Amino acid sequence: MSTADDTSGEDGPWGEVTPEAARRLLVAAVDAFAERGYHATTTRDIAGRAGMSPAALYIHYKTKEELLHRISKIGHERALHVLEAEADRDGTAAERLAGAVRSFVRWHAERHTTARVVQYELGALGDEHRTEIVALRRRSDAVVRRIIGEGVRNGEFDVPDVAGTTLAVLSLCIDVARWFDAQGSRTPDEVGDLYADLVQRMVKVRADGSAGPR
Amino acid sequence: MSTADDTSGEDGPWGEVTPEAARRLLVAAVDAFAERGYHATTTRDIAGRAGMSPAALYIHYKTKEELLHRISKIGHERALHVLEAEADRDGTAAERLAGAVRSFVRWHAERHTTARVVQYELGALGDEHRTEIVALRRRSDAVVRRIIGEGVRNGEFDVPDVAGTTLAVLSLCIDVARWFDAQGSRTPDEVGDLYADLVQRMVKVRADGSAGPR
């Protein structure tokens, strides 16, 4: 019944959500929001998808918005974690940028149902929750901007507009969630490799991989 | 009352829709779908936004899906037209690719409310209508692929994966509709210029603009 990105088990993005009933409801909410949109979904729909009663849902979530907030928070935290892990590796700025793009793309391809909900329903969050999520998005932005900035400073990259290029790189990766089709011709890894190459071109990495003069 | 992308007048994207009442309903539908999603919007909501009765709506549109189809068809046709106009100009492949990206980005920035509905509610179209829209999307894809292919053949571009690069270029432009903020720090023209440069980098246009050997 619960199929959000086929990752409803403890190893999926919702593994931190306990007890199991709360996790099952979250997965059901992702599927329902993705299918009909947040505003067209009722807590009754979500409970039904999870094979539970509306009363059982209220034990875990007081409102529909609380479910969306939980989904959005975990989704953003996981995506940020993926970026930070690559940014903190050893290696040149070019290698770390390629790694960050590869992982961020893979996340948005594999978790495309979750990512769509997370990206398209931001407007439905309450003010306080939206502020919290915007702060997480700024942190993702800062990770990519930092890598690009380092590459510019050490001469690896030639980028006139670091903020704009950061925006474009993140946008390119995030939009994978919109068009990615698990039945399509490209795997998440293949899209990740393609995009890592395209982003290296956007920042004009030197062909020999060396750092040049500033 | 009607504010979809501030282009409700005859000069906007809906200028071809007549009579004026039918146009007014279309603009109201774009706003309602963008705000609450297709499934959470009723024809009564749309009629109300347009200052009309539900009965008056049914004179022009038999179903809510007919409204979405009309919006999606006009939106896709306009976006395709913008691409084709640039592709058919005189000039090098690099110049035409830059022009196409600039115009396509501008379209998605200026008409971001419409573009979001058009992009995110594809799944709500009936089978026949979806097939029609997918054909329009394939034509947009073909326009960009043709320019990139020409640039590769005449030595202007160095692109190992033309289909993948085409997908990425269109995705980058389309996603402008998601993040563009009319109150933000960049104008549609500025984003268009930035993205035209980034796409030229993606295809590795030679710095001197000349066509080289194959």
CATH number at residue B92: 1.10.357.10
Contact indicator for B191, B180 with CB cutoff of 8 Å: yes
Contact indicator for B64, B42 with CB cutoff of 8 Å: yes
Name, in order, each residue with C-beta under 8 angstroms of A153's C-beta and a sequence gap of 6 or more. A214
Name, in order, each residue with C-beta under 8 angstroms of A25's C-beta and a sequence gap of 6 or more. A46, A47, A50, A52, A57, A60, A61, A67
B87 domain residue, yes or no:
yes
Q: Tell whether A202 lies on the interface with B, counting CB pairs under 8 A.
A: yes
Same-domain pairing of A20 and A74: no
pLDDT of residue B8: 47
pLDDT of residue B205: 83
A207 domain residue, yes or no:
no
Residue B80: how many other CB atoms lie within 10 Å: 18
Percent of chain B with pLDDT over 70: 90
Q: Tell whether A122 lies on the interface with B, counting CB pairs under 8 A.
A: no
Of A168, A176, A186, the CB nearest to B198: A168
Of B161, B164, B198, the CB nearest to A165: B198
Nearest alpha carbon to residue B27 among B60, B78, B57, B71: B71
Residue-wise pLDDT for B127-172, tens only, equals: 999 999 999 999 999 999 999 999 999 999 999 999 999 999 999 9
Residue B73 has pLDDT above 90, yes or no: yes
pLDDT of residue A214: 42
Distance from C-alpha of A168 to C-alpha of A102, rounded to nearest angstrom: 15
Same-domain pairing of B44 and B69: no
> How many whole angstroms from its chain centre is CA B58?
27
CATH number for the domain harbouring residue B26: 1.10.10.60
Contact indicator for A3, A50 with CB cutoff of 8 Å: no
DSSP B2: -
Interface size A-B, in CB pairs within 8 Å, comes to 78
Contact indicator for A169, A101 with CB cutoff of 8 Å: yes
Distance from C-alpha of A109 to C-alpha of A99, rounded to nearest angstrom: 15
Same-domain pairing of A171 and A86: yes
Distance from C-alpha of A50 to C-alpha of B40, rounded to nearest angstrom: 21
pLDDT of residue A205: 84
Token pair, residue B173, equals: 């432009």
Chain A residues touching residue B192 (CB < 8 angstroms): none
B48 domain residue, yes or no:
yes
The verdict on a CB contact (< 8 Å) between A175 and B172 is yes
Distance from C-alpha of B144 to C-alpha of B150, rounded to nearest angstrom: 10
Same-domain pairing of B57 and B70: no
Same-domain pairing of B165 and B188: yes
Same-domain pairing of A137 and A167: yes
Q: Tell whether A172 lies on the interface with B, counting CB pairs under 8 A.
A: yes
Q: How far is CA B52 from CA A92, B25, B59, in A?
A: 62, 8, 11
Residue B3 has pLDDT above 70, yes or no: no
Domain boundary among B38, B62, B86: B62
Chain A residues touching residue B167 (CB < 8 angstroms): 179
Q: Tell whether A178 lies on the interface with B, counting CB pairs under 8 A.
A: yes
pLDDT of residue B13: 78
pLDDT of residue A15: 86
Same-domain pairing of A57 and A73: no
Chain B residues touching residue A40 (CB < 8 angstroms): 36-40
Task: Work out the average pLDDT over B59-73.
Answer: 97
Shortest Cα distance, chain B CAs vs residue A42, angstroms: 10
B210 domain residue, yes or no:
no
Distance from C-alpha of B45 to C-alpha of B54, rounded to nearest angstrom: 9
Same-domain pairing of A16 and A81: no
Within chain A, which residues score under 70 in pLDDT?
A: 1-11, 206-214
Domain boundary among A42, A62, A82: A62
Residue B2 has pLDDT above 60, yes or no: no
Distance from C-alpha of A160 to C-alpha of A152, rounded to nearest angstrom: 9
pLDDT of residue A10: 47
A211 domain residue, yes or no:
no
Same-domain pairing of B121 and B23: no
Q: What total number of domains does chain B contain?
A: 2
Q: Tell whether A130 lies on the interface with B, counting CB pairs under 8 A.
A: no
Q: Tell whether A175 lies on the interface with B, counting CB pairs under 8 A.
A: yes
Same-domain pairing of A111 and A49: no
Same-domain pairing of B74 and B47: no
The verdict on a CB contact (< 8 Å) between A165 and B119 is no
pLDDT of residue A136: 97
pLDDT of residue B15: 86
B207 domain residue, yes or no:
no
B211 domain residue, yes or no:
no
Domain boundary among A62, A82, A112: A62
pLDDT of residue A209: 52
- Domain range spanning residue A15? 4-62
Distance from C-alpha of A83 to C-alpha of A214, rounded to nearest angstrom: 26
Same-domain pairing of B48 and B129: no
A179 domain residue, yes or no:
yes
Burial B42-53 (b: 16+ CB within 10 A, else e): ebebbbbbbebe
Residue-wise pLDDT for A112-162, tens only, equals: 999 999 999 999 999 999 999 999 999 999 999 999 999 999 999 999 999
pLDDT of residue A11: 53
Residue B108 has pLDDT above 90, yes or no: yes
